[in-house]
């Protein structure tokens, strides 16, 4: 939400969509050695928050 907030404040777009995927290195590298220990977070503002179709479009483009 902080990244989206800064983009919104600086650029003042009609909407912001942010998706971040991160790997838990402590689980991947240390004793657990679990592969694919990832977390995914996303946030939407403006037209992305108000229009579910825009959310689907964004996620589809990011995942392509």
In the 3-class helix/strand/coil scheme, how is 2-51 assigned residue by residue? HHHHHHHHHHCCCCCEEEEEEECHHHHHCCCCCCCCEEEEEEECHHHHHC
pLDDT digits (tens, 9 = 90+) for 5-59: 999 999 999 999 999 998 877 665 665 666 667 889 999 999 999 999 999 999 9
> For residue range 35-48, what is the model confidence (pLDDT) as tens digits?
667 889 999 999 99
pTM of the model: 0.77
CATH number of 2-59: 3.30.1130.10
pLDDT of the residue at 25:
72
């Amino acid at each position: 939400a902080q990244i989206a907030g800064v983009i919104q404040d600086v650029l003042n777009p009609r909407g912001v969509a942010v998706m971040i995927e991160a790997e838990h290195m402590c689980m991947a590298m240390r004793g657990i050695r679990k592969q694919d220990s990832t977390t995914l977070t996303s946030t939407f503002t403006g037209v992305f928050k108000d229009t579910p179709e825009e959310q689907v479009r964004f996620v589809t483009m990011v995942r392509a």
